[in-house]
Amino acid sequence: MTLAIDTAQAGNKHNITGARQAYYDKISKYHLAPLWEVLKGLVTPEPKTQMQPALWKFPEIEKLMLEAGDVITAEEAERRVLVLENPGEPGKSRITNTLFAGIQLILPGEIADAHQHVASAIRFVLKGKGAYTAVEGEKAEMEHGDFIITANWAPHDHGNPGKEPVMWLDVLDMPTINHFQASFASHFDEKMQNVNHENGDSFERYATGVLPDGAPVHLNRSPVINYPYAKMRPILERLAAEGVEVERRDVPRIEIRRQRRRHRAATPRQRRRRVVQQMPRPTRPLPRQPHLARDLARRDDAARRDRAAHRAGRRRGGAGRRPALAAHPRLLRRARAAQAGLAVRAARHLARGGR
């Protein structure tokens, strides 16, 4: 009997599964899919990622990059770059979900042709000197430790008129751009763009604390092309030496800014309430209804006397008297609420200059 029931249940389950699969095959012809089959994977109880931690050591990468110089030229590759691929998603040319990273090599005498693209780029020079990156007409010479910014759609090209290979780290937001399917790029007929600004021109113009006359005031990016390591290191050393003092000095400023933001975000009613709460409570009799204040004071005194008598009776071993107001808690609550309302009205009356 039990075997027959199990066989029937297995048959019913097989029939249900088959019917559902037939239904899924039918709706797939209309480009439809059942959400209930994938809902748990879409709405997860906690974040899930395919990214995995990884470490790339530069001595190993450097050897492989120099070998790439023998395998392909910069002109053939357009950009001779080894992509730092996250081991969790091989083949997708990304180091995280939103960023691309790679090591680029340019040998002496080579030129990487000028182009422009929607993705923004930052470059950190890892080794070598003598190469350059030209961005929007400024040729920024590259040395170890330099940090170079290439804004989106800014024309740029690379070259190495020096005597040694130069390598740098490229980081771009290409995965983010491609996620929104907004990638555009264009190439120029000339391999190199015309240079009309000297090396370090943007740094001298915009990083000195003085804004040039006629310069754009509002930019959605940094106007500085190259942050040279030779000029950044003294600043970093000073910050490292005075970091604690700088933080302490900035705390009052941060608190003042926070209070100002909170005040601006508050509604007029909330602002008035804060003002009233900060006012001192009046010590003289409340206006307009002094008899209610006197009644409340008398009731409080009577309640204190009754409680004292009750405690004294308990110490003598007797039951003692019950407090007079214990049987009327609602009346006491109403009286105290009225007293609080009168105090607020009195504070507002005094704030308006009343007597």
Question: Which CATH architecture is the domain 58-227 placed in?
Answer: Sandwich (2.60)
Query: Region 299-310: what's the mean pLDDT?
Result: 75
pLDDT at 245: 55
Q: For 77-81, 192-196, 340-344, which range has the lowest pLDDT when averaged over its residues?
A: 340-344
Q: Give alpha helix (H) positions in 118-267.
A: 174-179, 201-206, 229-265
Place of tokens 């190993």: 60
pLDDT at 240: 82
Instruction: Name every residue whose Cβ is closer than 8 Å to that of residue 104 and which is 6 or more positions away in sequence.
Output: 79, 80, 81, 123, 158, 167, 168, 169, 170
pLDDT, residue 252, reads 63
Q: Are 162 and 129 in contact (CB under 8 A)?
A: yes
* Residues 28-83: tens digit of each pLDDT: 999 999 999 999 999 999 999 999 999 999 999 999 999 999 999 999 999 999 99
What does the pLDDT read at residue 157? 96
Fill in the amino acid letter for 277.
Answer: Q
Check: CB of residue 197 under 8 Å from CB of residue 137: yes
| Helix 290-315 and helix 329-351, axial crossing angle in degrees, nearest 10 | 140
Instruction: Tell me the domain boundaries of the chain.
Output: 2-42, 58-227, 229-265, 290-351
Assign 320 a pLDDT band (cuts: 50, 70, 90).
very low
Categorize the per-residue pLDDT at 275 as very low, low, confident or very high, splitting at 50, 70 and 90.
Answer: low
Choose between 15 and 84: higher pLDDT.
Answer: 84
pLDDT for 270 equals: 72
In the chain, how many H helices and how many E strands? Answer: 10, 11
Tokens of 16: 């249900």
Give SS3 for 345. helix
Q: What is the mean pLDDT of the chain?
A: 82
**pLDDT tens digit sequence for 116-156:** 999 999 999 999 999 999 999 999 999 999 999 999 999 99
